[in-house]
Amino acid sequence: MYDFSKIKNRGEEIKEWLKKEYSVLRTGMATPALVENLPVDSYGVKTPLKHIAAISVEDARTIRISPWDASSLKDIEKAIAVSNLGVQPIADKETIRVALPELTEERRKSLVKILNEKLEEAKISLRQERDEIWKDIQEKERAGEITEDDKYRFKDDLQEIVDGIVKDLEAAAKRKEEEIKS
């Protein structure tokens, strides 16, 4: 019996990576995930925003950022302004509000394009893992560790696992695309 745990684990890692990538894509709904990993130049070091501020959702279209150190307010504001989120930060004395505008049809199309590019990256990564395991199976057959029949049975099992992971990735992409289009 061949141990397919490596590709199953890698498949889970790829699903998690894709989930994180999709959480950053703006769908018109306010969510802390949109800004929490933005790099902020804090005391000369690039730091994720979630490490230097509290991030909360004020309403469906507004995110409120409350830095723990008021002196980093300008740095946070600058980081949000230069990000490609398409939002403009509004600072008051102690917090920053980020109001999310309605998505235009053009922006929705570009988000779907980005979404599909991320999906393809995930599929490529999965295919590379599949190819490595297939090579290992072929080497075991050449070395006489497994029979030719086992080799083709393992190939079918491997493809079944890959197809299941791809199905999950495509389902996640479809859900996100519907979210973007609505």
Task: Over range 152-179, report the average pLDDT.
Answer: 94
pLDDT digits (tens, 9 = 90+) for 94-146: 899 988 877 788 878 888 888 999 999 999 999 999 999 999 999 999 999 99
How many residues does this entry show for the chain?
A: 182
| φ/ψ bin of 144: left (φ > 0), alpha (ψ from -120 to 50), beta (otherwise) | left
Tell me: pLDDT of 26 over 70. no
**In the CATH hierarchy, which fold is given to the domain comprising 5-23+104-181?**
Topoisomerase I; Chain A, domain 4 (1.10.132)
Question: Are the C-beta atoms of residues 34 and 63 closer than 8 Å to each other?
Answer: yes
Name the more confident of 170 and 81.
170
Q: State which amino acid sits at residue 25.
A: L
CATH: 3.30.1360.40, 3.20.20.70, 3.30.2130.10, 1.10.540.10. Which one for 33-99?
A: 3.30.1360.40
Query: What sections of 66-104 are H helices per DSSP?
Result: 73-82
Please list the residue range(s) of the chain that carry CATH number 3.30.1360.40. Answer: 33-99
